[in-house]
Every structure is written in C-alpha cells, then in structure tokens.
Amino acid sequence: MSIMQEQKNNPLHGKRLDFILEALVEYYGWRELGRIIPIRCFNENPSIKSSLTFLRKTPWAREKVEQLYIKKLY
C-alpha cells in the first residue's frame, strides 16, 4: 500500500494538534474533556497553550486526544 493510500484513509491526516484540541474543547468543553481524559492540563486552569505544550511532550496523552477526536468524527 502506498503512503498516499494510507494517508487518504487516515482521519488525522492534515489535522494539526491545535485544530484537534480546539475542536474537542468546542464540542465537549474543558470540564467534560477533563472527565473523559483525566489529565491535569485539562482540569486545572486549562488553556489551549498549556495543553498543547503537555500533549506535544507526552505521546500517550496525545494519542488519547487523537483517538477521542476520531471517535467524535464517527
């Protein structure tokens, strides 16, 4: 399978992390997002900037955010 075919089927292709996070916050709100994915940056003084900093350094948390975004799409 070529890379183009793989990317065409990837719902995250072309989506930046800030776009994904902003979409989730708009859809769920910080409180619900922090309940679904219980990490401090969502529950204590949440902001897009602080959350992006944490998610970029923490692969397991970023994966949870990406999976929630995919779940929201389908």
Q: In whole angstroms, what is the distance from residue 1 CA to residue 22 CA?
A: 32
pLDDT value of position 1: 47
pLDDT at 16: 95
- What domain range includes position 50? 17-73
Residue 50 domain-assigned (yes or no): yes
Give the pLDDT score at 8. Answer: 66
- Asked whether residue 29 is domain-assigned, the answer is yes
5 falls within a domain: no
Query: Tens digits of per-residue pLDDT, 3-52?
Result: 444 566 788 888 999 999 999 999 999 999 999 999 999 999 999 999 99
Q: What is the domain count for the chain?
A: 1
The CATH number for 30's domain is 1.10.720.30
pLDDT one-digit tens code per residue, 41-63 = 999 999 999 999 999 999 999 99
User: 37 in a domain, yes or no?
Assistant: yes
Query: For residue 34, is it within any domain?
Result: yes
Q: Any idea how long the chain is?
A: 74
For the cut 90, the answer to whether the pLDDT of residue 66 exceeds it is: yes
